[in-house]
Amino acid sequence: MYLATTYQGKSRIEPKANLRIARAWCEQPADHLWIDVEAPTAEELAFLQSQFQLHPLAVEECDHTGVRPKIEEFPGHLYMVIHGMNHNPGANRLDTVEFKFFLTRGRLITIHNAPSSSICVTQERLAKDPQFMARGVDNVLHQIIDVVIDHYFPVLEAMEDRVEQLEVTVFKNPGQEVLEAILDLRRESLKLQRLIQPQLDLLGALASGRFSEVDPPEVAYFRDVYDHVLRINDRLHAIRDSLGGTMDCYLSTTSNRMNEIMKTLTVVATVVLPVTFLTSLLGMNYEHLPGKEDPVAFWWVAGLSLLVSSGIFYALHRARWL
């Protein structure tokens, strides 16, 4: 448990607090208090609920994952759920960390089930600048959300690079692996879209200035974060459009290749058809077949077959079918 507070203009930080220390801090009338809890226990959640009169439905969700990004207004506090990219070592790039925020006047509670670089960046900034939290806990909330949203941009840039590579590969070597790469990238973009869209609504609500828990001077900063989410949403739409065009190019390229193969087979069959007809006709098992006893009949048939096939080949060439 991480605690940070300002009391009569003085800042204080306790990076490794326990419940006993947290209870002692909460008994003091601090100006601003930030409590961060990683992988909370049932006892810690019960303490937070009773100490800050948090809504039991919101506290219950803090013990679960897979909660959709949202913002809810309860009596006395705001409850928010935001998903950030998991940039921890060994983690999948599209794994997410769920953040639960409880915001009230002068109090901020952040809960997450996994280590978070966004939280660490904010804590480092607070350690370097003790007056950072003097502006209010809504300023701390903005700092955390801003870093969380910024972590989406490297993922988007990597996806855009992959789209560009697929657009080149689809013309050079449109194999089965290209189709699989397109479908994988499409699934990833849809997953990000499902995360960004509700967070766009969430940041829009914070940027509207209709919540008393957010001081008016901080509203402009949340509007800036909202603009970042809008840019992410626009770029995701562009990625999906590009993937749709790449899929169309793949289907068109494979269809053209199939047409070329069928054209080649058709030409071969057309050229060989007269030879097949003549050999089938003259190869019938009749005793009195004309020319059967002639020693030069074979060469007449071979020459005639070659002449007819050459004529058909020349006609196809003149017709620009070859």
- The answer to whether position 290 is within a domain reads yes
Which residues lie below 8 Å from residue 234, measured CB to CB, with a gap of 6+? none
Say if residues 230 and 238 touch (Cβ distance below 8 Å): no
Beta-bridge partner residues of 73? 78
Which of 98, 129, 160 is a domain's end point? 129
Say if residues 39 and 113 touch (Cβ distance below 8 Å): yes
- The answer to whether position 252 is within a domain reads no
Q: Which long-range contacts (CB under 8 A, 24 or more apart) does 13-21 make?
A: 13/123, 13/126, 13/127, 13/130, 15/123, 19/43, 19/44, 19/47
Which of 59, 94, 129 is a domain's end point? 129
Q: Mean pLDDT for the chain?
A: 84
pTM: 0.78
pLDDT on residue 108 = 92
- The answer to whether position 67 is within a domain reads yes
CATH assignment of the domain containing 114: 3.30.460.20
**Which residue segment(s) compose the domain that 31 sits in?**
1-129
In total, how many domains does the chain have?
2
- The answer to whether position 314 is within a domain reads yes
Which of 114, 129, 144 is a domain's end point? 129
- The answer to whether position 30 is within a domain reads yes
CATH assignment of the domain containing 289: 1.20.58.340
Cβ-in-10-Å burial (0-12, 13-18, 19+) of 134 comes to middle
- The answer to whether position 196 is within a domain reads no
- Give residue-wise pLDDT tens across range 52-92: 899 999 999 988 888 899 999 999 899 999 998 876 555 45
- The answer to whether position 153 is within a domain reads no
Does 313 score more than 80 pLDDT? no
For the CA atoms of 293, 298, 299, 300, what is the dihedral angle to 10 degrees?
Answer: 80
Say if residues 209 and 219 touch (Cβ distance below 8 Å): yes
Does 94 score more than 80 pLDDT? no
- Give residue-wise pLDDT tens across range 229-272: 999 999 999 998 888 888 888 888 777 777 777 877 777 777 77
- The answer to whether position 18 is within a domain reads yes
CB atoms within 10 A of CB 102: 25
Does 138 score more than 60 pLDDT? yes
pLDDT on residue 290 = 66
| Residue 285 binned pLDDT confidence (cut-offs 50, 70, 90) | low
